Structure 1
Amino acid sequence: MDAGGPALRQDAERNRDRVLAAAREAYAAEGIGASMASIARRAGVGIATVFRRFPTREALVEAVFADRMTAYAQAVELALADPDPWAGFAGYVETVCGMQAADRGFGEVLTLTFPTARALEERRDAAYHGLVALLDRAKAAGRLRTDVVPEDMVVLLMANAGVVAATGDAAPDAWRRHVAHQLRGFAVDGGEVPAPPAPTPSSMYRAMLRAAPTTSGRARRTGPAPSR
C-alpha cells in the first residue's frame, strides 16, 4: 500500500471539514446564494477542491443542512407528542421559525426544494406528513381554523424568512411578534396568543435603513426619523 495513502485521505477529510465549516458560515451570513468560490476562499482551499468534495451546490447544501433538517422533522414528532393539540401546533411553529431566525441559510432551505438532494427531501417529506397530522389534531380539538392548510405554513415560513432577513441584528426579536400575530390569525376566534413586546421605533428605523436600496452606499431618508 502506498505509504502516503492514509495521510492523503486524512488531508482530504480535513479539506472536506473546512469546506463544510466555511459553507455553514457563509450560508448563515449570506443565505444559500453564497457562491462556491466565496466558500472556497473562506475555507482556504481551491475551487477545484470544493467541487471534488461536492460536485454540485445541492450536494453541499444537503451536507451542510442534513442535521438541521433532521431537527426540523423531529420538531413535528415532539409537537405530535404534546397532549395539548394547540400547544403542540403553536410550539412547533415557534420552534421552526426560531430555527429560521438562528440561521439565514436554513431559513431559505425551508422554503425551497432541492430535487437532487434526496436525503434532504426525504426529511422534508417526513416533516410535511407530520405537519398534516398536527393540523388535523388542532382542528379536531376546535382550536385551529378549519380553513388552514399546509401551504399556509409555507407562506408563514416565507414571510418569517423575510422578516428575519430585513430586521437582522437591528431588531433580532421582531420575528417573534410576527409569529405571534400569525398564530392569532390561525386560532379559532383569535385565541389567546401572547405577543412579545414590539420592536422599538429606533430599532425598526435601523432595520429599515439596513433593508433599503442604497445610493452611493447610503440609504436616503424621505421622512423624519422616529424618536430614539
Structure 2
Amino acid sequence: MSFVSTVTGGRKLRADAERNRRKILDAAAELFALRGIDITLDDVARHAQVGVGTVYRRFSCKQELVDGVFEQHMADMAAGASAGLENDDPWQGLVDFVAFTCEQMAASRGMGEVFFSCDEGREQIACARERIVPLVDQLVARAKDAGALRPDVDANDLLTLGKMVGAVIDFAGPVAPDAWRRYLALALDGMRAEGQARTPLPEPPLTSDQIEAAKIAQATKPYRSSR
C-alpha cells in the first residue's frame, strides 16, 4: 500500500469516527431531552442507529456520554451569565440569565437532572459549574448594589429557584409547556427589593382541566430504569 493511500485511508477512518461520535452525541442529547439521563448506552446505540460496540469504543461508560452532551449546555449557561453582566440594567441581566437557565431545563429534561446532581465523578461538568458560580455571584451583587434585589437574597437562592421551576416544568409541561414562565415571574417578584415594580405575568394560570390532565400525566409516566 502506498504512503498516499495509507494517509487517505487514515483520514477517512478519522472522519468516519468523528461522524459516528457526532451521531452518538446527537442521539444521546435527544434521549436526554425526552427521558432524562436515566438511559443506557444500548438505548443510545439504537437511537443513533449504530452498533453497540461503536458506542462503547467512544464512550466507556454512560457518564462520559453525559459529560460530552452537557458540557456544552454548561458552557452556554456560562455565556448566558456573562451576557447578563454586560446588560446595563443589573436586574434585567439577572432575570435574563435565570430565564435562560430555565429555558435550557424546559428544552431538555436531562439538563435539570445533571444541573441539580452532585459533581462526584463528573469532572467536566464540575469544571464548567466552577466557571458559572463566580459569574452568578457577580449578577447577584450587581442587582443588590443597584437596589433592585432584596439584600437578604443569596446566589444559592437562585439555584433553589431553578429547582422549583424545574418542578413546575415537570408537572405542567405535558399540558402547558410555557406555564413555568408565570411561576418564575412570581418568584422573581418575591426577590425584588421593596418598592420595585412588579412584572406582568407572562402566562395565564393553569385551568382546573389542565391541572387534572397534568396529574394524570404524572401518574402514567413510564418507569425508567438506570440499568
Q: TM-score, normalised by structure 1?
A: 0.85
Within-5 A mapping of 1:10-21: 10-21=15-26
Q: From 196, 199, 203, give the equivalent of 2:210.
A: 203
Could you tell me which runs of 5 or more consecutive residues in structure 2 were left unpaired when the two chains were aligned.
222-227
- Is the aligned partner of 1:172 residue 2:172? no
Relative contact order (alpha carbons < 8 A, sep ≥ 6): 1 or 2 greater? 2
Deviation at 1:25, TM superposition (A): 0.8
Correspondence 1:152 to 2:152 = no
Distance 1:43 1:87, change over 3 A: same
Q: Deviations over 1:40-79 (max 9, x none)?
A: 2111223332221011222111211232211100111111
In structure 2, the partner of 1:82 is: 87
Residue identity in the other structure for 1:45: V
C-alpha distance in 1 between matches for 2:161 and 2:56: 34
**Aligned with residue 61 of structure 2, among 31, 56, 62:** 56
2:187 equivalent in structure 1: 182
SS of the residue corresponding to residue 194 of structure 1 reads: coil
1:94 aligned to 96, 99, 118, which one?
A: 99
Which digits, 9 at most, give the CA deviation of each residue in 1:77-98, with x for residues without a partner?
1111112111111121112111
Cα deviation per residue 1:151-203 (whole Å; 9 max; x = unaligned)?
Answer: 21221111222211222231101110110111011112374122122133322
Unaligned runs of 5+ in 1: 215-228
Q: Which TM-score applies when normalising by structure 2?
A: 0.85
Identity %: 37
Figure out how many residues of one structure are paired with residues of the other and give that number.
Answer: 214
Distance in 1 separating the partners of 2:174 and 2:220: 18
Aligned match of 1:110 in 96, 112, 115? Answer: 115
Q: CA deviation at 1:131?
A: 0.5
Counterpart among 36, 55, 58 of residue 31 in structure 1: 36
Distance, in Å, in 2 between the alignment partners of 1:184 and 1:41 is 45
Whole-angstrom CA distance in 2 between matches of 1:157 and 1:202: 26
